[in-house]
């Protein structure tokens, strides 16, 4: 008995979709939780508060650490600091979290012992 070509093509398509679905489900997923109340308005924000807020977003809600690492190889993306070996790196990312809520994440990395040159004041 001959199996019709349509049945063979359909079975092949189902197998391919099952393979892709199985692969997609093997990728680790994280649960996205609503952000905690964070207010950086009013001009009374220190640099330390901004750094803490950026680190919190980077490590939790921003889900950046899934792919990116700073100073070491990431899981799916290259090490941005190691790509060009800078003495100083400031990476800024803007995200639309959901529902019109936007956030900006800033990550910095400084090479050990590196100091910025003093600013030059022009007349």
What's the start-to-end Cα distance of the chain, in Å? Answer: 92
C-beta of residue 77 within 8 angstroms of C-beta of residue 91: no
Can you tell me the distance from the alpha carbon of 87 to that of 81, in angstroms, rounded to the nearest whole number? 9
Q: What is the pLDDT of residues 16-31, one digit of tens each?
A: 999 999 888 888 777 6
81-118 tens-digit pLDDT: 666 677 777 778 887 766 777 778 887 878 788 787 77
pTM, to two decimals: 0.36
| CA distances from residue 121 to 44, 88, 118 in whole angstroms, order as listed | 26, 22, 9
Name the token pair of 66. Answer: 């899934």
d(CA 86, CA 105): 19
**In the beta sheet, which residues pair with residue 97?**
none
Cβ neighbours around 57 below 10 Å, total: 22
What pLDDT, on a 0 to 100 scale, did the predictor assign at position 7?
Answer: 92
């Amino acid at each position: 008995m001959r199996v019709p070509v349509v049945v063979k093509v359909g079975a092949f398509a189902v197998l391919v979709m099952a393979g892709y679905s199985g692969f997609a489900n093997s990728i680790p997923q994280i649960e996205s939780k609503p952000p905690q109340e964070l207010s950086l308005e009013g001009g009374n924000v220190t640099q330390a508060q901004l750094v803490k807020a950026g680190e919190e977003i980077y490590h939790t809600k921003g889900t950046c650490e899934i792919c990116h690492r700073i100073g070491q190889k990431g899981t799916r993306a290259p090490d941005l600091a190691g790509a060009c070996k800078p003495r100083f790196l400031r990476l800024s990312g803007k995200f639309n979290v959901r529902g019109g809520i936007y956030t900006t994440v800033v990550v910095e990395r400084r090479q050990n012992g590196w100091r910025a040159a003093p600013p030059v004041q022009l007349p």
